[in-house]
Amino acid sequence: MNAAAPPTDLRRYLIALVSLTLVQLVATMGFNQASVLAPAAAPELGVEAADVAYYVSLVYLAAMLSTLGGGTINRRLGPIRFIQAGLLVAAVGSFLFAVGGLALAALSAFVVGLGSGPLTIASSHILAKVSPPRLANVTFSLKQSGVPLGFAICGALLPTLALDFGWRWAAASIGFISIATAIAVQPLRGLYDEDRHASRGTRLPTLAEIFEPLGLAWRDPILRPMCFIGMLFSATQAIVVNFTVVYAVDGLKMSYVLAGALLSAATVTGAFGRVFWGAIADLLRKPSAVLAGIGALIAVAATAMAFSTPAWPTVAVYFVFIVLGGTAVGWNGVFIAESALRAPPGRAAEFTGATQLFVFSGALLSPLLFRGVLAVTNSYEVGYLLLAAGVATASLFLAKAAMGR
């Protein structure tokens, strides 16, 4: 194994930051395609647009499974090769969705999720090696800004592609972009896969390798409460990202294209929010306190969303969604940076994978619960109010923990 380059190597740092942000953007487009295409695809598949909740939950379930032992696989393959494998698997999922009937759509959700799980693990491994410690939160937040930017591109482009060429071609285009990205990052293997561990036997992790980082993360006095906060925050993000278009069309009676633009506005703000919150966390050196403050703003914005109606001025609706996007989509970089920095040397990928298990579980359960509330009450408002109450409660506990540090 070759010695790693110094973490302050500016060239390695900037190349990693730019390339991993672009990879994150592309992967997010695959992750989110069904939510944006739901109004167009649902009639042909024989389901309601709100049933995208089941697709989203399958994606997150598969992503959860792919994080188990992901740190070990990352060490054996190298992070760039792990990223390439994830992108190619996700591309297959996009093509399955494009071909689909209902059964293939369900299978595509699982395949897309399997391909998405490795990306955060692998990128965290790289960034933990090359990032200056004083810029850790803003670095991880900049990389994670690819998530809301991917959402924004989906919201801006996929409805138009679906109307002009059909939703199947819109989905297939995401698959082709994923393959092109996997090929494009091949030259980075020489820069970042130098510390991979060759393995003569199976590349699959053992049970001990899967559960050991989970136990270490659980015993950390800061990461343990953060795991629960991450679960609730990711639940909120999943609702915002996956139900904005559906809610805007069904609940607020917006046009399909205008609803997609609303998602783009919220998620572009989320991209700026990730960088902003990362910079604040680096400045204050209190990431848990910053996360608690984000939670308070999420609760207020989700409450306002619950009371929005078709009679509201479009500007007012956009304002609420922009605030919600800047917070509910803006927290993740600070969370991942704290997870990586609290890991033992060289084990950022495993610790990130352990905490991401909780993050994915929140995103897995929340669409199902939100869809269940909608089915029982026939009201989006109740779901958003319950979400606001949960986040507010979690933020109070996190604020208490932050004050005790």
Tens digits of per-residue pLDDT, 164-220?
888 899 999 999 999 999 999 999 988 887 766 655 444 566 666 666 767 776 777
Distance CA 146, CA 149 (A): 5
Q: Which range in 2-6, 53-57, 66-70 is most confidently predicted, on average pLDDT?
A: 53-57
Residue 3 vs residue 257, higher pLDDT:
257
Residue 316 is assigned to a structural domain of this protein: yes
Residue 194 is assigned to a structural domain of this protein: no
Tokens 């953060």, residue? 226
Binned at pLDDT 50, 70 and 90, residue 89 comes out as very high
Question: Full-prediction pTM beyond 0.85?
Answer: no
| 322 pLDDT above the threshold of 50 | yes
CA angle 103/109/114 to nearest 5° reads: 130
Residue 200 is assigned to a structural domain of this protein: no
Residue 2 is assigned to a structural domain of this protein: no
Name the nearest CA neighbour of 144 among 379, 339, 381, 336: 336
Tens digits of per-residue pLDDT, 38-61?
888 888 888 887 777 788 788 888
Q: Give the orientation angle of helix 223-250 with respect to helix 207-219, to 10 degrees.
A: 100
pLDDT of residue 208: 65
Q: What is the CB-side half-sphere exposure of residue 183 using CA atoms within 13 A?
A: 7
pLDDT of residue 210: 67
| 404 pLDDT above the threshold of 90 | no
Residue 128 is assigned to a structural domain of this protein: yes
Q: Do 256 and 249 meet the contact criterion of CB atoms below 8 Å apart?
A: yes
Residue 198 is assigned to a structural domain of this protein: no
Residue 352 vs residue 159, higher pLDDT:
159
pLDDT of residue 338: 77
Q: What total number of domains does the chain contain?
A: 1
Residue 47: strand, helix, or coil? coil
Residue 197 is assigned to a structural domain of this protein: no
Residue 289 is assigned to a structural domain of this protein: yes
> Which residues fall within 8 angstroms of residue 282, CB to CB, at 6 or more apart?
134, 135, 136, 137, 138
pLDDT of residue 7: 45
- Dihedral over Cα of 312, 316, 322, 327: its sign: negative
pLDDT of residue 94: 93
Residue 290 vs residue 195, higher pLDDT:
290
Residue 15 vs residue 356, higher pLDDT:
15
pLDDT of residue 371: 81
| 6 pLDDT above the threshold of 60 | no
Domain span at 390: 10-188+205-403
Say which CATH number the domain at 49 has: 1.20.1250.20
